[in-house]
Structure 1
């Protein structure tokens, strides 16, 4: 399957190397977002080294604020593909999650995505083509006791996706969620070592974490970011034109359900 997004502009918020690189290999101009100009430029430099022929544009700005979102819009006035990848997570005993923490998780994991959809969906509808993906989590369905606030925010993101997909009905724009399973990132490595012996080598730590804390995974390992990126690139393409309003699982079989 040859996916060609040449001539399109894709914006990835809270950009990861893997998702941005996956987009670039399919041919579009990829706007890389992060809070700080320096980190965005560093990410672009690394992407240019690793992705032959990739085209990247810097789009710094803290999209959890209206001013930051306007900064991103100034750099990228229109986008054909929007990937709401920005998110935070962490563990807190349920009864110790403060009101401020609940608000912070909602602001970052839900409202920032809503803000970006409001910004770019009208132009997509006018052009009769667009792809929006909200990166959710298995925690949206299987709420972890140690991070209820995170899981709840991702559940809300599924509802946001379904609602905006209805708003875009019949326009040629699709809106989907990606239910990502336990994924191997730097932040997740830190999280794993919060729950297992920090002296263990990484391979052993990962196996122990999956066995003790994510035993329902059929993959029985952490998912690599490139595996999430592959699904995101597919959903960005014309091949996925009949997939909208969905919660598409890239979870390694973690969610024990026949239906998505």
Structure 2
């Protein structure tokens, strides 16, 4: 199976590092023109340089806009009015006891994790439907199903994201546009690696060992018993972004190591 995205333009929000960066790199390596998004020129240009260092033929643009704001979104629409693939990866998280989650905390996480993706999808969906081809992909989380008791607001926002994606898929019914969510589990991004070293480090243990200990304690239902690599998430996203996935829409696709105790 060969994934060929030549001639397609993809926007990956929040793609200067972590899962978003892995997705941007994978899409570029599959032939897509990729728009990297971060809030600053420096971050976006650094990510672009890293991709070009490994693939000099990659076609990379940068979009240094804060896409959690209407102003940043409008700047994006002006700079890039037409795309084929939208990966709504932008998101925030944080541990807060439920009784201490303020109204502002709720509004902030819903705005960044849900409303920002709705705003971009609202703009690009009609253009995709006019062309009768497009892909909208939301990066959710297994926390949408297994709501963490220390991140209730985060899990709720990710569950809302799945409802949003299903609704968009229905709006695009009968067209060549699909909309899906991807549910990663614990994934070894730069931020997670730093967290593990700070919270669980010591005794000269490797990141892999620390990750396995964390999963055994906090995600005991995992069938892989480890953190995923960002590239493993990117592999699934790249397939869903491709023409090969034309019959997959309105779905929540899991890449979480079997943590979720569900057959479907």
Residue 163, structure 1, aligned to residue 175, structure 2: no
Single out whichever of 106-115 and 89-98 deviates more from structure 2: 89-98
Q: Residue deviations 1:116-142, cap 9 Å, x none?
A: 101111100000000010000000000
Q: 1:64 — aligned with what?
A: 68
CA contact (8 A) 2:44 2:62 kept: yes
CA drift of 1:53 comes to 1.6
**TM-score, normalised relative to structure 1:** 0.96
For residue 51 of structure 1, report the CA deviation from its aligned partner: 2.3
Q: Is the 8 A contact 1:90 1:191 kept in 2?
A: no
Aligned residue runs from structure 1 range 48-127, under 5 A: 48-127=52-131
Q: How does 1:210-229 map to 2 (within 5 A)?
A: 210-229=215-234
1:199 aligns with 2:202: yes
Aligned partners of 1:204, 1:230: CA distance in 2, in Å? 24
Counterpart secondary structure, 1:249: strand
For residue 253 of structure 1, the aligned residue among 249, 254, 258 is 258
Residue of structure 1 equivalent to 2:13: 13
| Distance in 2 of aligned mates of 1:19 and 1:185 | 12
Q: Is the 8 A contact 2:208 2:226 kept in 1?
A: no
| Unpaired stretches in structure 2, ≥5 consecutive residues | none
- Measured in 1, the distance between the counterparts of 2:68 and 2:44 equals 16
Instruction: Look up the SS of the partner of 1:177 in the other structure.
Output: strand
1:117 aligned counterpart, secondary structure: helix
Shift of 1:193: 5.0
Q: Which residue of 1 aligns with 2:214?
A: 209
- Is there any run of 5+ residues in structure 1 with no aligned partner, and where? none
SS in 1 for 2:222: coil
SS of aligned partner of 2:216: helix
Distance 1:197 1:56 in 2: 37
Structure 2 residue 123 is matched with structure 1 residue 134 = no
After superposition, the CA RMSD in angstroms is: 1.3
Does residue 240 of the first structure (1) align with residue 245 of the second (2)?
yes
Q: Does 1:146 align with 2:145?
A: no
Aligned mates of 1:40, 1:30 — CA distance in 2: 12
Distance 2:117 2:236 in 1: 19
Deviations 1:225-252 (A, max 9, x none): 1001100110011110000000011111
CA distance in 2, matches of 1:210, 1:47: 30
